[in-house]
A and B are shown apart, each in its own frame.
Chain A
């Protein structure tokens, strides 16, 4: 779908991702520079009071960013933010969505605000975010 002339209510972002695996978390640990052992070392995670390792929030935000820039060219993204609403567990099958909530002008530029979510296979919201894009 084109993001060139969106209307309020349009769902312009939608993408599903494969299940989160231990292997993916290990790769993300290396690829992102975030070496916090809580995401890859079950002994460390248990000592910290968690039943198992869990996803980096930024891996999930990376997926949401990918879904966003599949629909909107990166140079049009003015801001991108999210709250990490819940821990993303191993096996989570994530779906990222974004809906236009507002059209406005800023400094002569036409912009749209998007409400973004990432949910798992049970519909639990993991990320609740927002982006402002130039349209």
Chain B
């Protein structure tokens, strides 16, 4: 079971490029028709350097370009089959747009046992910066681990 010793553990930084083709796949999958996301001219007219990414796409970029998208689970000895997503947070500081190259740096900031050890909540916080060193966002995910019950 994961314990407090995991807090502070950092993971390999992930660098991801915001590519228009795979962003289009995401927009199509969600039925997203907002012209700001789909039409570069509409985005520029609204003051963006290029089309911005939708609010949850930072989470995807980190997974897409990670050498091992479930690295932190593997590193902490957690079985993917026992994991649920508990909470997710994004704090936005600057736009992330098509063409950007973003770097994601993640570390464990919290481990909490719940329900007498039946579940463990793990918080992973991620700082996102772009190719110019601009701090574009912070994200935080809480993962719920369903621990095996003693038999």
The CA of A64 and the CA of B115, in the complex, are separated in Å by 29
Q: Is B88 an interface residue (CB 8 A)?
A: yes
User: Once the chains bind, are B26 and A31 in contact (CB under 8 Å)?
Assistant: yes
**Cβ contact within 8 Å between B54 and A74:** yes
Interface string of B78-100 (1 = CB under 8 A from A): 00111111111111100100000
A83–B87 touching, CB < 8 Å = yes
The yes or no answer to B59 lying at the interface (CB within 8 A) is yes
- Interface code B39-57, partner A: CB below 8 Å = 1, 0 otherwise? 0000000111000101110
Tally of chain A residues near chain B (CB < 8 A): 41
- Complex partner residue of A32 from B63, B89, B90, B92, CB under 8 angstroms: B63
- Stretch binding the partner chain, chosen from B5-13, B29-37, B106-114, B123-131: B29-37
**Total count of chain B residues near the partner, CB < 8 A:** 41
Question: Does A100 interact with chain B (Cβ within 8 Å)?
Answer: no
On chain A, the residues within 8 Å of B65 by CB distance are 33
Q: Which residues of B contact A28 (CB under 8 A)?
A: 29-30
Q: List, in ascending order, chain A residues with CB within 8 A of B46's CB.
A: 73, 75
For A59, the closest partner residue in chain B by CB is: B30
Q: How far is the CB of B22 from chain A (nearest CB, A)?
A: 7
In the complex, chain B residues whose CB is within 8 Å of the CB of A48: 81-82
CB distance from B88 to the nearest CB of A (A): 6
Verify if A8 is at the interface (C-beta below 8 Å from B).
Answer: no
Query: Which chain B positions have C-beta within 8 A of A70?
Result: 34
* Residues in B whose Cβ lies below 8 Å from that of A80: 55-56, 89-90, 92
Evaluate contact between B60 and A34: CB separation under 8 angstroms. Answer: yes
Does residue B69 face the partner (Cβ distance < 8 Å to A)? yes
Tell whether, in the assembled complex, residue A30 and residue B80 are in contact, meaning their CB atoms are under 8 Å apart.
no
A85 → chain B closest CB, angstroms? 10
* Inter-chain contacts of A69 with B (CB < 8 A): 34, 36, 54-55
- List 15 other contacts, CB 8 Å, given A48-B81, A62-B56: A17-B31, A31-B22, A31-B29, A36-B70, A38-B80, A58-B60, A62-B26, A65-B56, A66-B30, A75-B46, A81-B88, A81-B89, A83-B86, A84-B87, A87-B84
Residues of B within 8 A of A (CB): 22, 25-26, 28-32, 34, 36, 46-48, 52, 54-56, 59-65, 69-70, 80-92, 95, 140
